[in-house]
Copies of this chain bind each other. A is one copy, B any other.
Amino acid sequence: MNETPAPELHVSQWFNSPEDLRLADLRGRVVMIEAFQMLCPGCVAHGLPQAQAVHQAFPQDKISVIGLHCVFEHHAAMTPVSLEAFLYEYRIAFPVGVDLTGNDALPQTMAAYEMQGTPTLILIDKQGRRRAQYFGQIPDLRLGHDIGLLLSELPGKESFEAPVTKEETRCDEEGCRLE
C-alpha cells in the first residue's frame, strides 16, 4: 500500500461545478477520476457512459465522479469551447476539469499520474490514496466490485491493490494511447 496521497489535480477550468475541486477537500469519500478526450472513440462509447452510470448509481456524498479532459493530441480540435458543447450534447452531469497544459504536449495531471492514454479510470480511497488505475475498457462487474470494496473499507482494513496497467498509443475502440 502506497501511503503517499494521490497527486493533486491541475486544472485550468471547471465545467458542471460552481467551484474548483481539490482531492484534498474530498477526504472521506471515494473518488473516481475519468480521464478522457472528447474525440476519443473509446471514451465516448465506453468510458464516459460508465462514469455517468457510476455517478447515477451511487450516493454522491459517498463517491465523487470527476471527469478530467486530458488533451494530448489534436489540441486545436479539442479546445474548452468544443468541450463545453460536447458536455452539453452528451448530457454529462458530473464535474469536468480541463487538465492544465504542460511544457510539452502532455497535460500536467496526466503526466503526474503517468497515464498511458485515454480513457483512464482512477480510484482514490477515502484517505486520498490512489488504489487503482485502469487504461482502456474495464467491465462494470469489476468496477462495481472495486467501488463496493472501497466504499465499505474501514481505515487500516484496506484489502485490495489493483494493478496499474502500462501500455502504448493511438486511438482505437479501446481508447487513445500514448506512443
Q: Decide if A86 touches B39 in the complex (CB within 8 Å).
A: yes
B residues less than 8 Å from A139 (CB atoms): 53, 57, 140
In this complex, the interface size class of chain A, counting residues with CB under 8 Å from chain B, is 35 or more
Q: Decide if B159 touches A152 in the complex (CB within 8 Å).
A: yes
Interface on chain A toward B: helix, strand, loop, or mixed SS? Answer: helix
Q: Give the CA-CA distance A144 to B159 in the complex, in Å.
A: 16
Smallest CB–CB gap between A127 and chain B, Å?
Answer: 16
A contacts, CB < 8 Å to B: 39-41, 44-45, 50, 53-54, 57-58, 74, 76-78, 81-82, 84-86, 88-90, 139-154, 157, 159-160, 171, 176
- What are the 9 tightest A-B residue pairs by CB atom distance, in nearest-first order? A144-B144, A148-B148, A77-B85, A140-B140, A145-B148, A74-B85, A148-B149, A144-B145, A77-B82
